[in-house]
Amino acid sequence: MRRVSAKKTPPKRTSRSKSSKTGKTPFGRLLLFTFGVLFVVLFVGVVYNYRNGLLYYLGFKTDKNVNELTEDEREIEDIRIFEVLSRHDTQLVGFDVSEYQSEIEWGKIDKIEEEFPLSFVFIRATAGSAKTDSRYKENWEAAKEHYFVRGAYHYYRPNENSIAQAENFIRTVKLKKGDLPPVLDIEKLPRKQSVDSLKVGLRRWLKHVEKHYKVKPIIYSGESYYTDFLKKEFKGYPLWIANYNFFVERIQKDWHFWQFTEKAQVPGIKGMVDVNVFNGDSEDLKALCIQ
């Protein structure tokens, strides 16, 4: 007997609305609209905040050496430099140099971005226990001849004896009335000792140098390095902080100096230069200097 199979009914397919397939539900549309509005507000805010720098670049950009950076990188850095200096137009601006800048034409140094006068300069004098910057003497004398307030700094090498490093600086640097206090530049962690041992050495250098010059030295370091390793134990020293973050717009109240870029271009100096803002006016700078 032949069996007749029952006709199978195909399963019902649950239909999805067109809006569900594309994600265009009312909630989805609201979410997209909200994100769109936030993006536009953020974009307009950034453009407004950096309007002066953008206008400067679009309308008044000068011909500059772009060998060290790509053209786009140079444009971005120029805008940031102009913006930072514009925000600090009542404060003093300076720079720092070493033998890495080669021979400097001091007579050409006047302003940065053709608008902001340069008032002070930090010059590397020594590094470690035996190194003397090969251009320290000529830079030190030239800075004085061209009426810059000058300061000398020592690059600290964590794995070398701290007192020997202090003596190296003292032998090399003869500070006079009107010069900035000596500077201890600390940027690296030790390879052969603990951080606690490093701090002992830094403290010895600072005390030895302070005893000789009768003035409290300035500490230079990156913001993160200073916060993580030095802040608790070295309060009370004048601070020169390096922070190149694009989103840091103003000098902090506890910073005496802010090195906000290492990529500036200064007439008379080959290559890129560090530029600094001082947290005060000429009278404040004079009060900080050796009396």
Q: What is the pLDDT of residues 81-92, one digit of tens each?
A: 999 999 999 999
Adjacent-strand bridge partners of 116: 112
Helix H or strand E segment including 201? helix 195-213
pLDDT per residue over 133-158, tens digit each? Answer: 999 999 999 999 999 999 999 999 99
Tell me how far the alpha carbon of residue 76 is from its chain's centroid: 15
96 catalytic, yes or no?
Answer: yes
Q: What is the mean pLDDT of residues 16-31?
A: 58
Angstrom distance (rounded) from CA 150 to CA 180: 6
Considering the candidates 83, 96, 185, 223, report the single residue annotated as catalytic.
Answer: 96
- In whole angstroms, how far apart are CA 218 and each of 203, 222, 226, 249? 12, 13, 13, 23
In terms of C-beta distances under 8 Å and separation of at least 24 residues, what long-range contacts does 253-258 make, across chains too?
253/279, 255/279, 256/218, 256/280, 256/288, 257/94, 257/218, 257/220
- Residue 82 is predicted with a pLDDT of 97
Domains of the chain: 91-288 (3.20.20.80)
Is-contact 276 258, C-beta < 8 A? yes
Are the C-beta atoms of 67 and 270 separated by less than 8 Å?
Answer: no
Half-sphere exposure (Cβ direction) of 120: Cα atoms closer than 13 Å: 27
Catalytic residue among 114, 141, 187, 228: 187
The per-residue pLDDT for range 210-252, each reduced to its tens digit, is 999 999 999 999 999 999 999 999 999 999 999 999 899 999 9
Count CB atoms within 10 A of the CB of residue 251: 22
Q: What is the pLDDT of residue 105?
A: 98
Structure confidence at residue 66 (pLDDT): 37
Q: Phi and psi for 10 in degrees, rounded to 5?
A: -60, 140
Question: E strands, the chain, where?
Answer: 93-97, 111-112, 116-127, 131-132, 149-155, 183-185, 218-222, 239-242, 257-264, 273-278
Give, to the nearest 10 degrees, the angle between helix 26-49 and helix 51-60. Answer: 60
Query: Please, which pLDDT band fits residue 2 given cuts at 50, 70 and 90?
Result: very low
Taken in order 54, 56, 62, 66, the sign of the CA dihedral is: negative
Question: How does the average pLDDT of the chain come out, rounded?
Answer: 86
194 three-state secondary structure: coil
In this model, does residue 130 exceed pLDDT 70? Answer: yes
pLDDT of residue 8: 46
The conformational region for residue 252 under phi > 0 = left, psi -120 to 50 = alpha, else beta, is beta
Q: How far is CA 105 from the centre of its chain?
A: 24
Residue 43: count of CB within 10 angstroms of its CB: 10
- The owner of tokens 């973050």 is 245
CA pair distance 92, 148, nearest whole angstrom: 12
